[in-house]
Structure 1
Amino acid sequence: METMKYKETIHKSEMIYSEDIGQFDFVHNQQNIDDINMQLNQTRSQRIRAAMFPESLEDYGFIQQNSNPPNMGRLSAVQRLAQPTQQLKSAIINLINYQEDADVTIRAIPELIKLLNDEDRIVVAKTLKLIDQLSSKDASRMALTSSQALINSLINLILNTNDVDFHNAAAKILANLSSSNNKAALYVIFKSGGIPALIKLLSSPVESVVFYAATTLHNILMYEPASKAQVHHYNGTRKMVELLSQNNNQKFLAILLDSLHILAFNNSEVKLVIQTSGGPRELIRIMRSSNYQKLIWTCVRLMKVLSVCPENKRVLVENGAMQVLNAHLLNVNNDDRIVYNCLLTLRNLSDCAIREDNLESLIKKLIEILSSSGDINFTTCAAGILSNLTCNNDLNKMKFVEYNGIEIMLRTMLQAGNENKEDICEPAVCSLRHVTNRHPQAQVAQEAVRFYYGLPVIAPLLQSDQSRWPLLKATIGLIRNLALSDNNLSPLRELGIIPRLVQLLIKAINSHQQAQQQGIESAIIDDVPMEEIIEGTVGALHQLARDPHNGIVIRELKCIPVLVQLLFMPWEGIQRVACGCLTELANDRINIELIDNERITDRLTEMLRSKDQAISTYAAAVLLRLSENRPGNDNFAMNNDPNVIYGGVDHHRMNNIGSNDQYMAYNTIDPYELEMQHPSNFNGNSQLIDIPMTNQQHHHGQSSAQWFDTDL
């Protein structure tokens, strides 16, 4: 057995040896053997030269041989260095040629300038062609840029001639020189008076000339801020707007729109020129007809800047900007930057669009953004737009309720962190304030806020040490509306709303008194007049006082003397809510005695003659309660004349004043019912701010809405 195994092993070894011999014979043929011998006979320097500088072998009397090694699996160190060495050599050669091109161009510039001024048209045309060729190469282009005299000659050629061919060549040269963000070239063109020449070329009948001129102007505007004033001075803004309707090239339109955006940003005069030139209508036309992403982005950015200008805002809304922007919000192919700019523009326009129809899909999309977007900027914009669209628009309010906007808005408020609380909660609270009042589904909305556990979310916002006055004001108005529902009166009391309202009332009164001591008519903090806080808190207490238990809490907080004091303030709105609150409190005998102790009969008698029907009615109701509490009092001079007591109001109706059924008939002038559009100066990350445009002046009972240009 061992003999058999030994023979088999010998046989296998012979087979392997035969295969190796065959392979060796196949690889090492005679030619390879000669190459190996040649390499062995070479010196070390010859081998390095052959691998790294093969073209130099002939100079040394050597014949170039195949330098590939016989073993293809491994490379020697010299062979590994061969390729990078060749690349280095090519780079050095290119540098030498680059410098040679620059030197040749610099030496030729004086002669080129002379030829440009030649009287022979053919000579000038050939010179322009040569300069065009030089401007297409990096080295010679840099050399041309360094010559202000040459650029001056090109600009003078444009300004002093009307030859279309000359204009085409010169415009192309300037475009080449300004390409690749060459700031040195842009500065020289600007300083050489290139702006008026380029604007002249925008009127050329040749499309290529207009394209070259617009491209160069755009490059200059991007890197030379001082050029904006010159472009506008030479009527470049109006000319660019006119070109929007004369060309359908989408890339060209994107360049024009970006140039207009640079010109319009922070410049009210340019915005007005764009508006009078028909710019807003062209923007909407482009947005409707184009799907080119870059064009849409530049278009909506310009629209966003124009949307802070009242004149442009009105024209944009009238021509359907809200609907167009909504369509692009719904377009899933648009990227985030387009969607965000659409939201910013919609927020700016939304205060003028409260009477617009066909916005149901927009409201639904905004609610979807609130529920699904994790981007704080998207959420802030969506909340702000909803705040304005739900202002004084019954259909939008009902759609907001129908699309479950109340639950989603409350959830959004709950998820807002402390750093974003003001930016999100203020427009969110304003939206809820709008939808909980003055429309057919208002009561449903008031109940929904409680049903979706919104009261515990809203109550902490009344803490004056954690919220600014704009948010406090909006929250006070919302609580006033929620108190219209009897089912909310007890939960609001249990959450400690009444003491917080009284605290804010006292704080606002103190601020008002301090301002008057300093000779200031109105105390304004965070752009909110304290008179509005006084009126709002008393209006909310008025509603809450309809519940007897709430009335006891108000009495225990010693509010009756404060309410009596407010009757003497000069603002009718404050007089109205204070007198109305006393009317509700007067349904309790203890409260009547406290009111009577304040000796306000004379003041109430004066208020009977107020031109404000609500004030006279409330005053008559309080006097009635007081008279009922002290029968036979001879000092009550008007006791024998009910018509005087009731100020001309049917005294039989006074028996019902203070009840829920009759309340709305006498309190329809509360300023918190008169909804106010939310300002758009809540802006997530405080992007670039433009000059504020005030829509409404701050006065008693009015809101201030400031709108800003924002850009990324």
Structure 2
Amino acid sequence: VVVSKAAMIVNQLSKKEASRRALMQSPQIVAAVVRTMQSTSDLDTARCTTSILHNLSHHREGLLSIFKSGGIPALVRMLSSPVESVLFYAITTLHNLLLYQEGAKMAVRLADGLQKMVPLLNKNNPKFLAITTDCLQLLAYGNQESKLIILANGGPQALVQIMRSYNYEKLLWTTSRVLKVLSVCPSNKPAIVEAGGMQALGKHLTSSSPRLVQNCLWTLRNLSDVATKQEGLDGVLKILVNQLSSDDVNVLTCATGTLSNLTCNNSKNKTLVTQSNGVEALIHTILRAGDKEDITEPAVCALRHLTSRHPEAEMAQNSVRLNYGIPAIVKLLNQPNQWPLVKATIGLIRNLALCPANHAPLQEAAVIPRLVQLLVKAHQDAQRHVAAGTQQPYTDGVKMEEIVEGCTGALHILARDPMNRMEIFRLNTIPLFVQLLYSPVENIQRVAAGVLCELAQDKEAADAIDAEGASAPLMELLHSRNEGTATYAAAVLFRISEDKNPDYRKRVSVELTNSLFKHDPAAWEAVSI
């Protein structure tokens, strides 16, 4: 009873400025309050003592005295209290300590504060939840172990549930901040996505609170690379396409990055974005972005995805041309653009070339000389390392062999057009393509054989291929495990041999038959007879 009365008196004193100052300056009293708080079984005493610490925590001096008196482990213990007011005082005091007291974060972690805080996310008082989520953000930011503890205690599911259930802006903002911090953690990402995080965050993209929208956008972008198989994102995708008209660099960076990831290997998403005028919006974004590669690279990647392997891919390929995108896209091949952007652009150009109507505008934009120039440069760089016996380095995360493969693959598709074939041939590319047949990289062999296959349709080019000594490597490639490579090699050899003497043609014919039937001995026997 005495302790209870004393606690009530000190609580009254802590509410007045002058007496509060005196209390803060008395370590013995603060220590006694902390001791009483954690040893009492009386609910009123618990409420009074947490209230005292809460009142002291509004001053730096008070925070220091609580910290020095071992107040943090004691307050963490109070987070198990069944009394709402005790919980509120305890979490608010801890929040003030985390914000302003040096060493508090470490002390809360050591006292297993996170394990106590995460279950509190199931409470239903929005103001209490806003403070609790802010504590989680302060503890998780820059601390991997804390992120994993939040995960182990079911944090992602509870946080997503809050985003789904409430409309109190401050709570949504603090919760989205925690999710943003967790969204860069490889272990938390799939848990947030599986809990329906993409859909819950997408719900707030049209909020009138710019800070909430910004957090949701960044979090969506961070999560999007593990969300490519998620259903129910149609609304999010449409909003992201609309966001591309923003003038805010952060909004554009997030919207393009998320669209790029969500359209990767997902036919349904590609079709939806294409049908939602995504191609037009992405081209306008590229035109407005100038030299901001954080925007142009994901925008180009998204266009590359939209122009390939889905029912509306052809519509997307045409749409790029109809929205005057081709000259701007070809311009991105110019250095000093970074290699990741150049690589993505080469892939997009290859896809655009699949549409015959794009050949003339691509040629007018002088894409062929630029691709050949890049191919020669990348090949020389790659060869230099082969000659020196050094490991092929990555330049900004891109290997030069990837550029060689990309350029050759794009030229292969462009060479389907007779005018383009002529231009590629005139640029004296055949010696290089023949050299690439010897590449140790299977995909480079395939695209090199592919482009030679197109060029060999013209007699002059076929003769040049033959004169370059292509027959030997092509004969080898007939036995390639890659069916595409073997087929291209066979076609080139066939075209080269058309006006050769009968002996040569017979040798090629035997070699072709031999290789084409190698997987079917019975068929080979039948032909031999």
TM class, shorter-chain normalised?
Answer: over 0.9
Q: State the one-letter code of the partner of 1:463.
A: N
SS in 1 for 2:228: coil
Cross-structure match for 2:193: 317
Give CA-to-partner distance per residue, 1:321-359, whole Å, 9 cap, x none.
22222222234xx31111111111111122222222222
Q: State the one-letter code of the partner of 2:445.
A: Q
Cross-structure match for 1:34: none
Cross-structure match for 1:384: 257
Q: Is the 8 A contact 1:340 1:378 kept in 2?
A: yes
Q: Distance in 2 between matches of 1:254 and 1:633?
A: 85
Given the alignment, which residue of 587, 591, 598 partners 2:457? 587
Matched, 1:337 2:207: no
Q: Higher mean Cα deviation, 213-222 or 358-367?
A: 358-367
Q: State the one-letter code of the partner of 1:266.
A: G
Q: Is the 8 A contact 2:333 2:342 kept in 1?
A: yes
Q: Distance in 2 between matches of 1:526 and 1:453?
A: 29
Instruction: Note the C-alpha offset of 1:629.
Output: 4.0
Q: Distance in 2 between matches of 1:606 and 1:640?
A: 14
Matched, 1:413 2:286: yes
Given the alignment, which residue of 49, 66, 81 partners 1:189? 66
Cross-structure match for 1:613: 483
Q: State the one-letter code of the partner of 2:268.
A: L
Q: State the one-letter code of the partner of 2:62.
A: A
Distance 1:649 1:535, change over 3 A: farther
Give CA-to-partner distance per residue, 1:537-586, whole Å, 9 cap, x none.
11101111111221222222222111122222211111111111111111
Unaligned 5+ runs, structure 2: 521-529
Cross-structure match for 1:169: 48
Q: State the one-letter code of the partner of 2:320.
A: V
Cross-structure match for 2:168: 292
Q: Distance in 2 between matches of 1:268 and 1:316?
A: 16
Q: Distance in 2 between matches of 1:277 and 1:587?
A: 65
Q: State the one-letter code of the partner of 2:68.
A: K
Instruction: Note the C-alpha offset of 1:646.
Output: 4.5
Cross-structure match for 1:438: 309
Cross-structure match for 1:356: 230
Cross-structure match for 1:599: 469
Q: State the one-letter code of the partner of 1:357.
A: E
Q: Distance in 2 between matches of 1:520 and 1:223?
A: 52
Give CA-to-partner distance per residue, 1:424-478, whole Å, 9 cap, x none.
111111111111110111111111111111111111100022x111111111110
Cross-structure match for 2:329: 458
Q: Distance in 1 between matches of 2:510 and 2:165?
A: 77
SS in 2 for 1:328: coil
Alignment of structure 1 residues 504-583 onto 2, 5 Å: 504-517=374-387, 519-583=389-453
Q: Distance in 1 between matches of 2:210 and 2:385?
A: 47
Q: Is the 8 A contact 1:608 1:647 kept in 2?
A: no
Instruction: Note the C-alpha offset of 1:639.
Output: 4.1
Cross-structure match for 1:154: 33
Q: Distance in 1 between matches of 2:19 and 2:517?
A: 94
Give CA-to-partner distance per residue, 1:478-524, whole Å, 9 cap, x none.
00000001111121111111111112112222322333455432220
Matched, 1:263 2:112: no
Give CA-to-partner distance per residue, 1:374-396, whole Å, 9 cap, x none.
22211221111111121222222
Q: Is the 8 A contact 1:609 1:647 kept in 2?
A: no
Given the alignment, which residue of 192, 217, 220 partners 2:97? 220
Q: Is the 8 A contact 2:205 2:213 kept in 1?
A: yes
Instruction: Note the C-alpha offset of 1:242.
Output: 0.7
Structure number with greater Rg is: 1
SS in 1 for 2:351: helix
Instruction: Note the C-alpha offset of 1:630.
Output: 2.2
Q: Distance in 1 between matches of 2:519 and 2:274?
A: 38
Q: Is the 8 A contact 1:343 1:378 kept in 2?
A: yes
Distance 1:163 1:499, change over 3 A: same
Cross-structure match for 2:81: 204
Q: State the one-letter code of the partner of 2:53.
A: L
SS in 2 for 1:610: coil
Matched, 1:424 2:295: yes
Q: Distance in 1 between matches of 2:430 and 2:60?
A: 72
Q: Is the 8 A contact 1:483 1:540 kept in 2?
A: yes
Q: Distance in 1 between matches of 2:102 and 2:314?
A: 56
Q: Distance in 1 between matches of 2:23 and 2:223?
A: 48
Q: Distance in 2 between matches of 1:539 and 1:146?
A: 76
Q: Is the 8 A contact 1:608 1:617 kept in 2?
A: yes
Q: Distance in 1 between matches of 2:61 and 2:441?
A: 64
- TM-score by length of structure 2 reads 0.93
Cross-structure match for 1:239: 116
Cross-structure match for 1:482: 352
Distance 1:638 1:232, change over 3 A: same
Instruction: Note the C-alpha offset of 1:599.
Output: 1.6
Q: State the one-letter code of the partner of 1:262.
A: L
Q: Is the 8 A contact 1:493 1:550 kept in 2?
A: yes
Distance 1:130 1:573, change over 3 A: same
SS in 1 for 2:486: helix
Give CA-to-partner distance per residue, 1:687-710, whole Å, 9 cap, x none.
xxxxxxxxxxxxxxxxxxxxxxxx
Superposition RMSD on alpha carbons, in Å? Answer: 2.1
- The structure with the largest helix share of the pair is 2
Q: State the one-letter code of the partner of 1:167.
A: A
Instruction: Note the C-alpha offset of 1:212.
Output: 1.1
Instruction: Note the C-alpha offset of 1:633.
Output: 4.7
Q: Distance in 2 between matches of 1:542 and 1:173?
A: 77
Q: Distance in 2 between matches of 1:589 and 1:498?
A: 21
Cross-structure match for 2:247: 374
Question: How many pairs were matched up?
Answer: 520
Q: State the one-letter code of the partner of 1:275.
A: L
Instruction: Note the C-alpha offset of 1:131.
Output: 2.1
Cross-structure match for 1:702: none
Q: State the one-letter code of the partner of 1:545.
A: A
Q: Is the 8 A contact 1:398 1:439 kept in 2?
A: yes
Q: State the one-letter code of the partner of 2:262.
A: L
Give CA-to-partner distance per residue, 1:2-43, whole Å, 9 cap, x none.
xxxxxxxxxxxxxxxxxxxxxxxxxxxxxxxxxxxxxxxxxx
Q: State the one-letter code of the partner of 1:407.
A: E
Instruction: Note the C-alpha offset of 1:224.
Output: 3.2
Distance 1:132 1:517, change over 3 A: farther
Instruction: Note the C-alpha offset of 1:634.
Output: 4.5
Instruction: Give percent identity, aligned residues only.
Output: 50
Given the alignment, which residue of 221, 225, 229 partners 1:347? 221
Q: Is the 8 A contact 1:387 1:427 kept in 2?
A: yes
SS in 2 for 1:329: coil
Q: Distance in 2 between matches of 1:519 and 1:230?
A: 53
Instruction: Note the C-alpha offset of 1:129.
Output: 2.4
Q: Distance in 2 between matches of 1:127 and 1:519?
A: 81
SS in 2 for 1:330: coil
Given the alignment, which residue of 636, 643, 666 partners 2:513? 643
Q: Is the 8 A contact 2:479 2:515 kept in 1?
A: no
- TM-score by length of structure 1 reads 0.70
Q: Distance in 2 between matches of 1:160 and 1:358?
A: 51
Q: Distance in 2 between matches of 1:636 and 1:561?
A: 26
SS in 1 for 2:244: helix
